[in-house]
Amino acid sequence: MSFFKRLKESVSRTTDSVTQKFRSGLSKTSASLVGAMDSVFSRNRIDEELYEELEEVLIGADVGVNTTLEIVEKLRTEVKERKLKDPGELKSLLSEILVGILQGDGEDEGMNLKEDGLSIILIVGVNGVGKTTTIGKLAHHYKEQGRKVVLAAGDTFRAGAIEQLEIWGERVGVDVIRHQAGSDPAAVIYDGIQAAKARGADILLCDTAGRLQNKVNLMEELKKVHRVISREVPEAPHETLLVLDSTTGQNAMQQAKIFHEATRITGIVLTKMDGTAKGGIALAIRQELRVPVKWVGLGEQMDDLQPFDGEQFVHALFVEDIEQETGTDPN
């Protein structure tokens, strides 16, 4: 059985709505990336020019130079070991390599939340990436699961940030703990923890400031917040999620490196994936930072923030080829 067929069988175990969200959200990347690959893999033979063209396509999709070189080297190795001669066979092989990169060792997939007691999720990222919206959508996701959620408005410096989070709290139907603008973020988070404990909450989602232009001050604030959280709830934060705007490409990678140096990032949220043709940034982040992508924004609706799934991601990219091989209509 080819990898395309195995991939389709694996993806079919999830709901049709999730599969459709990934297909719709990644349609621009699929058209750009896989469309360009068609010309590469339609060559008459597997030669050095093919590999060079493939490198250009991957780099153009924001996969990144280092990750691209690793992918192409893995492809070369597999081609030799399997003694492949037909370029048409490489697309399925490439998809297998991409899934392997996105899944990593599999041990860090999913959210590390407590089954009983309070779980704290710290949300970090620069202004403008969709951080507050992500918090609102996460609150909706967990409330739909029957969890009691509280929000802490720790971004006390950006104009309107507290009010924006309160709007999300009202929309989702969860409490928001806030101070006045300009207050100490760590104090807000402290009060958020006490309120979450008192109200028997399952999850506390903590917003933070994102003023990257004041990098030193920002990172010191994050460290202070982290100390307060770990002092009040041992082993917390249980997740520290970095929100990145996928439309910014390699700039998002630079942001990730800066935040990763300051605080232990456990996962990435890639927003606005539906608005870019360069979704390869997910591969670059996973491979170069060794940090898993845990959530992906595939649209503007409340439930369009989806848990990231490497198989769903690759399936959405190669869906036309997969359906052609398995003899079914993608529509």
Q: Which helix (H) or strand (E) holds 203?
A: strand 203-206
Q: Which helix (H) or strand (E) holds 41?
A: helix 35-41
DSSP state for residue 294 in the 8-state scheme = E
Please state the residue numbers annotated as binding site for GTP: 125-132, 207-211, 271-274
C-alpha span between 127 and 188 (Å, rounded): 19
> E strands along 81-165, which residues?
119-124, 149-152
> E strands along the chain, which residues?
119-124, 149-152, 175-177, 203-206, 239-245, 267-271, 293-297, 305-307
Please state the residue numbers annotated as binding site: 125-132, 207-211, 271-274
Is 131 buried (19+), middle (13-18) or exposed (0-12) by CB count in 10 A? buried
> Judging by DSSP bridges, how do beta strands 175-177 and 305-307 pair with one another?
unpaired
Cβ-based neighbour number of residue 38 at 10 Å: 12
Residue 162's contacts (CB-CB under 8 Å, 6 or more residues apart) are 153, 155, 156, 178, 181
C-alpha span between 68 and 58 (Å, rounded): 6
Contact predicate 283/269, CB 8 Å: no
DSSP state for residue 302 in the 8-state scheme = G
DSSP state for residue 285 in the 8-state scheme = H
> Judging by DSSP bridges, how do beta strands 149-152 and 203-206 pair with one another?
parallel
φ/ψ (deg, to 5) at 277: -100, 10
The distance from CA 85 to its chain's CA centroid, rounded to whole angstroms, is 35
Q: Would you say how long the chain is, in residues?
A: 331
